[in-house]
Structure 1
Amino acid sequence: MAGWPFAGRAAELTRLGQIARESALVIAGPAGAGKSRLAAEIVEGFPQGEFTVARVSATGSANGIPYGALAHLLPAESPGGMTNPLRWAAEAISVRGRRLLLAVDDAHLLDAASAATVRYLVANAGAYLVATVRTGEHVPDAVASLWKDGFAVRSEIGPLTAEDTALMLHARLGGPVDDTTLQRLYRATEGNALLVRELVGAALDSGELAEERGMWRLAGVPAPGPRLTELIQERIGKLSGVQAAVLEYVALAEPLGLRPLTALCGAAAVEEAEARGLVRVEAAGRRAEVRLAHPLYGEVARAQCPSLRRRSRFAALARTHERYGAHRREDPLRLTLWRIESGLGAPPGPLLKACRLAWAAHDYPLALRLGHLAVTAGGGLEASLLLATVLDNAQLPDEARAVLDALPTPVEPAQRVQVTLAKASNLAWGMNRLGGALALLSAEVPELAVRRLSLLASATRPAEALNLADALLDAGGLEAGQVAQVLNARALALVQLGRIGEGVAVLRTALADGSWRDGVPVLVSPLHSTWAMAGLFSGDLRMTREAVASMSAAEADQHGWSRGEGSLALWRGQLAMAEGRPRTALSVLHAAAHHPTATTVGGCMGAYAAALAMRGDAAGARAALTEARRRNRPTWTAFTRWAELTDIAIATASGQTSEAAHLAAEAAASARLDGLPGFELLALHDLVRLNAAGSSTVVRLSELRFLGIRAETTYRQARWARDPEGLTEVAREWAAQGFTLFAAETAARAAAVLRRDGTERRRRNAETLALEYLTACEDADTLPLHSLGAPDLTPRLWEVVHLVVSGLSNREIGERLHLSKRTIDNHLRTIYMRTGIPERSQLGRLLLLRRR
């Protein structure tokens, strides 16, 4: 990993570093996991001047030469008449007066003599050892006996976590990557450090990975470059013809049923491919499916499969699949796609069915391809309407309008209704003409009324939407997809009206019934969004987390669905901000906020602005909100409510507290007038956070307690605005609910009250509590926190804080300050006790407080 700073694996580095100081250590892991770099960091952590480090890099080429791995550590000539070469080698390597530290990389490749010498030095001469071995490889008996006989600890390391991968990328690129880029790279490499390095190198060389507005972003799907392709080919190894066929078939059609794959390649070939780690076999209901052992195997196999052989493979897949029968829901889609790829083609009927299945799976590029083919193949009005619908949902409104304009005037009433529905959706979401869409939907036809209802709910007209929803449900006669659309609108209206429990019950009913998913798959996104918003309004962040997790699972295999990606990013970002994590929110929102066409851009950019304001970046937040207002779709009028709240945050971050309080009061009054108690609560809470809530605000908050625990806690905070004990209790309540930033702010407010009228001990306790909560809030920097002063530390203790934050160990700090390590340990314990900060990794927060 030369050229890449070490990052991530902090817990493993600490744990294994401690083991290495107490016993010999052998780090085991798969190729490319980062064993060598981790071992090097552990070795660097040993006190300088106390150890002589003997570095050994074993190789396969020297494996057959006695002492080949140790040749650079031994004299050029051995003494004549030597009767004990093992002891001679050990004594030649040992250094008198210093302890010996052996750093052995790839110890599984040691020749027998070198392995025996390493064992002798550890077991008999007291040498320290940090070694690496590759999992699954034969290890010399002398090395294996070290952990078997208790002289060493063998520790297995796995792939990097997503969090460690993010740290690694940040260290290499000099800045954060957005969350979408991180997830793409992590899925492609499965956390293998070597593959991360090579894939990032290829993306940098091609220009696909570039910095955009302060974050690194990957354009499209990462593709392996020549070096990475060579690494994958080396890992795959030389394959027989039938093994190569197994790899190609699975790469082209993953997941592929075990039975058809066996029919194509033979059972022996599939078993050999599994044994070699090329594929893995998984249970899928009553059927076994075969998948690639690593995603990048497929990238390489597909890239190297010639065109004619690829067509032949797809034709064989189609024939075999037809022979065994298409029994699963997705089989018609796969079969149609394989026929197209093989050049056999498909008639309109199967193409239409395949297009609907691809749309239901949220694979928009494939659905659009199949839709165009269905129209070309003579699918008629049905194909054109389906294509226009998919185009609209793919954020391509102009193309959808062109398809609709080319339609002949339908004769049948049912066809006219379908055309009207398509044109209304295009007007509302694609062309930003909500009024025109509602006018098209004015006829008293159930199908049109359902679409009108959906638009009314999105336009934040909950009372009107609820009345229409109830009337439609009472009338009955609706199809499953129409019922789901009504339930979706009804749930949103109920939540907007503050009837949280009723709204959540309705949306859970809709999500539990999957009969609508093929007809209106896009409902997955708004149903989950309403669910997430219900948790945010009520203060039940567990509900919001559950909604976000469910939405992530429902969209796990989506491809090119920018609206779904945007909705998921929006609520992940909102959740992160509610938890006081603006840095995470910005990473999650970055790609969706800067999407070129998605209808969700305005909302995501608005949330992005709110996260910037939470970090104290008023100028950046103001620019982002201006762009959000420019790009928002007027059909989604709830955006204006979120934008008003962001205006309050920007004014606060600018230090304009009077203006912020005025904006908060106006936003609350407007929301109350329009019957939107959830938004009213959020605005009133901002008044409370600004310490600007009067008696009328307290009264109104008391009336809003029906919304849930968030309203109850906000009311208590407003009521006890000058009671430090009450504020401290409220701070703990916010923390228990997961609103950690609000907890820190409220504890800081309690400390400010005590600073004017209270004992030193009580003030310090409140400040310590605020710091405890603030350490979990990433880089949040809001106005209520500004009253929180830096803790009272001596100049020497502040010096220690600065050196810890710079990355020095306690021993290194002691050397810098000419103090013993024990003294530094004691200083740190004093710092922890006075500040309430539990560990060194969080001491950077103190420097932020000191700079204010």
Structure 2
Amino acid sequence: MISGDALTGRDSELTAMRRALGGTGNLAGVVIAGAAGVGKTRLAREQLAQAATTGVRTRWVVGTASARPIPLGAFSAELGDTITEPAPSVRRVIAALVGRQRAAKVLVGIDDAHLLDGFSAHVVHQLAQTREARLVVTVRSGVPAPDAIKALWKDGLLDRLDLEPLSPESTRLMVESILGGPLDARSAARFWKLTGGNALFLQQLAKDQASAGHLRQVAGVWSWPGPVAVSQSMSDLVGNQLDQLPTDLAAVVDNLSQCEPLEVELLAALVGRGNLEIAEQMHLITVERTGAALLVRLAHPLFGELRRARAGEMYLSKVRGRLACRLSADDEPQTVVRRALLTLESDLPPDPGLYLEAARHTMRLLDLDLAERFAAESAKAGVGEAVEIRAVNRFLAGRGPAAEELLRELSGDGDRDRHRWAVLRAANSIWMMADPHAAADILAALAAGPETDTERMSRYSVEAGLDAVLARCADAEQKARAALDSGLLSDSEHMLASVALMMACGALGHAEDISPAARAALDRAANSHESAHMRFWFGGVYARACRLTGRIEDCTRAAEVLSELARDMPGLAYANLVFLLGSAELMRGDLQAAARLLHEALAGVENHGITTGLRPACAFALTETHAKLGQADAAAEMLTEATRVVRPDFLFMQTGLATARGWALVAGGRLSEAIDTVLAEAKVAADRGQLTHELACLQAATQWGATEHLPEIAVRARTLAGLLRLPLADAVALHAEALHRRDGEGLLQASHAYQLLGDRATAADAAAQAAVILTGAQSRSRGLFAASIAAQLAADCGGLSTPATRTPPTPTPLTGKQREVAELVVAGLSNKQIAERTYSSVRTVEGHIYRACQRVGASSRDELAEILRRGGYGTVR
């Protein structure tokens, strides 16, 4: 799992170093300055290694504290004997380093030059001044260095590169290179927060977590869900002084390791103000002014981890108890949660009321695991409301069977809120247990009994979701609107009804209602412990509605807003958020970003054991993403996952499954089957009244060039455009009509329409189809123009590879059959396999391949495949 010492995140620095070493500005090289552990040595060694591959002679010299008292001590290996007269020996050292080589052919690395003795520093200065060699010198920032070394950059002999800690993104890249696979964003942020981007700390921390088994790989993505493991090696790196701290100073670090930041006055009351002053002078803590308050933090995040690893649990329990007693008793949510957690993990008596209050706040703050801990402790003390909190919390966390256990009990005949809990039990059956029939039975039993107006609207909020799941879209919309307009719903019921309304409006194409309903749902949920967490599930539903109605920018804006709320939160909220972000990137056509985010979402789903809506939705989106990147095997793997987990009675997902299957077939070269699949689903969606689902199927078939079906597709797409009155529907109708008429200019207009919607991938397909038609019609200049648009859009998508972008624009375009056979060649099938797949003879297949080769200028079957893989116009710009 742990790989070698790969250099990542330093491309710009390497470029700057190459420029300095190339003689730009008459420089003799570069000085790399930076803090300890930031990666100076690693960067210098990389530069020498790269130079060595080009035939440059390299030498490596290291300054050390032990050699500093010795004249020319750093160069003793070059001299090979005892130095009696340092001054005359300087020329011998230079001669030994450079020999008879030209300066451009010698590169000398000087590591930790601030530790050189005066004569060794003089050698380095002479080399720079005479330019007898190129130099890469490292120095530690903020420590004294010999004058001759400081003169290297002050006198302009060498360029100075101040090496900053790794950025968050570079940190993620480095950890991924160590682990040999992608890392989820939350874990990457945790690595960066603990190390501050220090490359040395980062590498050791990653190795420590791997050795302790704290890193986990799920669905191909690494995550770090567990505690921090701290090895002795890390302790030695970060600060040996922590082990030798007097008790009073250790108490400063120990208190902050349990709770930070803390106000100066609060911490001073526990450990003494004088000890705080000393700790600040020793750089153990930092003190910053925020408004009128002075806040204390640890100077390095790893200080707290190191002390936690070495302090005893009984001692830390006392520390937490004292902190809990000192924290103010105000009702600010963060303070309540901090006080409750400190109390829970301290030697203080349990406080069930505090735990219950903290559970509500923690649900609102999206940490459902911590909320479960608080509610469970409160329930142990016999607080009845804690059981209700646990039931809601389990539902929100996607723990369907565990929620059912409590909800079944709460909805029993003797409970005063039996109806309310039965409604939530029905919702749990639909969304968390994927059992809409059980939900229907519960709701029918409620409808058969007496209900108040409030209870009826409560039932409607979940019945609307059931109707939406079973593709009864008009009924879903009617019930959801009635429930929402009643003003009688609880927060969770309001969100459930909003989800149903979003599903129905998306399927029916009622785009004007989508954004207002979304704003109302998100605003109400913002401060509710019942529904704050549901915003991220709602976000995924909203994303689907936006895609079906062509509102890509609206989806992107919602993703950005929600990402600020849950980026650092654990659990299912984060998985839903990443799915929303990935969906937005897929709609926009940023396929590489989409693949990364959606795989991370799938890993989050698997980590939490979710088997219902989010899991198949991730698989659908990943199937399409990999297919659009031309990754047939990965698309097929994701389709297998989607088929395995989607419920057949989740009718609202059947269009997503059909289009995913179509994309996987397309990636495998099976165009005819793909087109037949989505057109069959289009008819089913039409029968159900899911007009935008039908439109999505027609759009896919048009993108894939459904030649023989185009007359019917064009007519139906135009009819849908009249019914839906959506810019997306107009674009699809224009696309299908232009392709049917073989109208290249019309296809360019369709491409522009898709670009206005923000859909670069479909715009690229339409432009590629235009390039083929215009070139075939002998309009070479317009064909080149269309090809350049398609090529740029395909590149902007991160390597879009679809049937349209793979079809080369030639004076004699490929026929439909030749194109289908050529796609199967690209997929790696033999002639015999292609014959079996297309129900034709091997000889017929050979003929199609021969004529396809003639039309695209290929001399062999392999060349035909290569031309299609890169796109016939891929180099036209």
Shorter-chain TM-score: which interval?
Answer: 0.7 to 0.9
Give 1:646 shift: 0.5
How well do the aligned residues superpose, as a CA RMSD in angstroms? 3.7
Alignment of 1:136-151 (within 5 A): 136-151=142-157
Checking the alignment, whether the CA contact within 8 Å between 2:407 and 2:422 is kept in structure 1 is no
Q: Which residue of 2 aligns with 1:772?
A: 792
Please give the secondary structure, in 2, of the residue aligned with 1:640.
helix
Asked whether the 8 Å contact 2:398–2:432 carries over to 1, the reply is yes
Q: 2:559 aligns to what?
A: 548
Aligned-partner Cα distance in 2 for 1:778–1:686: 20
User: Partner residue of 2:759?
Assistant: 739
Could you tell me whether the CA contact under 8 Å between 2:506 and 2:545 is conserved in 1? Answer: yes
Task: Determine which of 461, 466, 476 is the counterpart of 2:487.
Answer: 476
* Correspondence 1:57 to 2:62: yes
Counterpart position of 1:18: 19
Match of 2:41 among 12, 36, 43: 36
- Is the contact made by 2:491 and 2:525 (CA closer than 8 Å) also made in structure 1? no
Quick check: 534-543 or 16-25, which moved more? 534-543
Q: State the alpha-carbon separation in 2 of the partners of residues 281 and 447 from structure 1.
A: 55
Change in Cα spacing, 1:619 to 1:348, as seen in structure 2 (3 Å) is: same
Distance in 2 (alpha carbons) for counterparts of 1:711 and 1:65 = 81
Name the amino acid aligned to 2:383. G
Match of 2:335 in 1: 331
2:138 is equivalent to residue 132 of structure 1: yes
Note the residue ranges of structure 2 that are not aligned, 5 or more in a row.
811-865
1:698 paired residue number: 714
Which residue number corresponds to residue 849 of structure 1?
870
103-112 or 767-776, which deviates more: 767-776
CA 649–850 in structure 1, closer or farther in 2 if over 3 Å, else same: closer
Q: Quick one: distance in 1 between partners of 2:755 and 2:245?
A: 57
2:580 maps to which of 557, 560, 571: 571
Counterpart of 2:359? 355
Moved more, 489-498 or 367-376: 489-498
Report the secondary structure of 2:81's partner residue. Answer: coil
The alpha-carbon distance between structure 1 residues 473 and 749, as it changes in their structure 2 partners (threshold 3 A), is: closer
1:432-486: per-residue Cα shift (whole Å, max 9, x none)? 3323334434444425633542452362544323323333344335556655554
Distance 1:180 1:779, change over 3 A: farther
AA partner of residue 563 (structure 2) = S
CA drift of 1:378 comes to 1.0
The answer to whether structure 1 residue 105 and structure 2 residue 111 are counterparts is yes
Report the alpha carbon displacement of residue 374 of structure 1 after superposing the two structures with TM. 1.1
Taking a change above 3 Å as real, the CA distance of residues 181 and 778 of structure 1, as seen in their structure-2 partners, is farther
Partners of 2:438 and 2:194 in 1: how far apart?
45
Contact 1:740 1:773 in 2 (8 A): yes
- Secondary structure in 1 matching 2:529: coil
Could you tell me how far 1:773 is from its partner in structure 2? Answer: 3.0
Equivalent position of 1:300 in the other structure: 306
In the alignment, which residue of structure 2 is the partner of 1:393?
396
Against the structure 1 CA distance between its residues 423 and 664, is the aligned structure 2 distance closer, same or farther, given a 3 Å change threshold? closer
Q: Distance in 2 between matches of 1:78 and 1:283?
A: 56
Map residues 302-701 of structure 1 onto 2, 5 A cutoff: 302-321=308-327, 324-380=328-384, 382-405=385-408, 409=412, 411=414, 413=416, 415-441=417-443, 442-443=446-447, 444-445=451-452, 446-447=454-455, 449-450=457-458, 452-454=460-462, 456-457=464-465, 459=469, 461-478=472-489, 483=494, 486-487=497-498, 489-513=500-524, 516-559=527-570, 561-562=571-572, 564-590=573-599, 591-592=603-604, 594-595=606-607, 597-598=609-610, 599=612, 600-618=614-632, 620-632=634-646, 637-692=651-706, 694-701=710-717
Report how many aligned residue pairs link the two structures: 792
User: Within 5 Å, which residues of 2 pair with 1:71-110?
Assistant: 71-78=76-83, 89-90=93-94, 93-99=97-103, 100-110=106-116
What is the aligned partner in structure 1 of residue 844 from structure 2? none
* 1:835 paired residue number: none
Q: Verify the 8 A CA contact 1:678 1:707 in the aligned structure 2.
A: no
SS in 1 for 2:534: helix
In structure 2, give the amino acid aligned to 1:54.
Answer: R
- Check 1:766–1:14 CA distance in 2 against 1; reply closer, same or farther (3 A cut): farther
Q: Residues 405 and 490 from structure 1, CA distance in 2 versus in 1: closer, same or farther, beyond 3 angstroms?
A: closer
Match of 1:748 in 2: 768
| The 10-residue stretch of structure 1 (416-425 or 631-640) with the greater mean CA deviation from structure 2 | 631-640
Contact 1:177 1:587 in 2 (8 A): no
My pick for the range that moved more, 146-155 or 404-413, is 404-413
- CA contact 2:408–2:422 (8 Å) conserved in 1: no
> How many Å separate the matches in 2 of 1:138 and 1:240?
29
> Aligned partners of 1:719, 1:14: CA distance in 2, in Å?
51
Taking the aligned partners of 1:336 and 1:648, their CA distance within structure 2 comes to 52
Note the 1:181-196 alignment, pairs <5 A: 182=188, 185-196=191-202
Match of 1:827 in 2: none
Instruction: Give, in whole Å, the separation in 2 of the partners of 1:362 and 1:4.
Output: 38
Q: Does structure 2 retain, via aligned residues, the 8 Å contact 1:57–1:104?
A: yes
* Deviation of the 1:606 alpha carbon: 3.0
When structure 1 is superposed on structure 2, of 162-171 and 62-71 the one drifting more is 162-171
Shift in Å, 1:8: 3.5
Distance 2:538 2:45 in 1: 50
> 1:42 is paired with a residue of what secondary structure?
helix
Paired residue secondary structure (2:70): coil
Task: Work out the percentage of aligned pairs sharing the same amino acid.
Answer: 29
Whether the 8 Å contact between 2:411 and 2:422 is mirrored in structure 1 is no
- Separation in structure 2 between the aligned mates of residue 849 and residue 245 of structure 1, nearest angstrom: 64
User: For 1:25, what is the secondary structure of its paired residue?
Assistant: strand
Provide the secondary structure at the position in 2 that maps to 1:69: helix
How do residues 795-810 of structure 1 correspond to structure 2 at under 5 angstroms? Answer: none
How far apart are the structure 2 equivalents of 1:465 and 1:262?
Answer: 60
Compute the displacement of 1:779 (Å). 5.0
- Is the partner of 1:594 in helix, strand or coil? helix
Alignment partner, residue 69 of structure 1: 74
Letter in 2 for 1:354: A
Task: Say whether the 8 Å CA contact 2:111–2:139 is kept in structure 1.
Answer: yes
Task: In structure 2, give the amino acid aligned to 1:57.
Answer: V
In the other structure, the counterpart of 1:797 is: none
SS at match of 2:60: strand
Can you list the C-alpha shifts for 1:398-443, whole angstroms capped at 9, x where unaligned?
3333334556956564x32343244333333344332333443444
Equivalent position SS for 1:342: coil
Counterpart of 2:461 in structure 1: which amino acid?
Answer: L
Deviations 1:215-262 (A, max 9, x none): 556564563444334323449685443443232222212343444223
Partner SS for 1:133:
strand
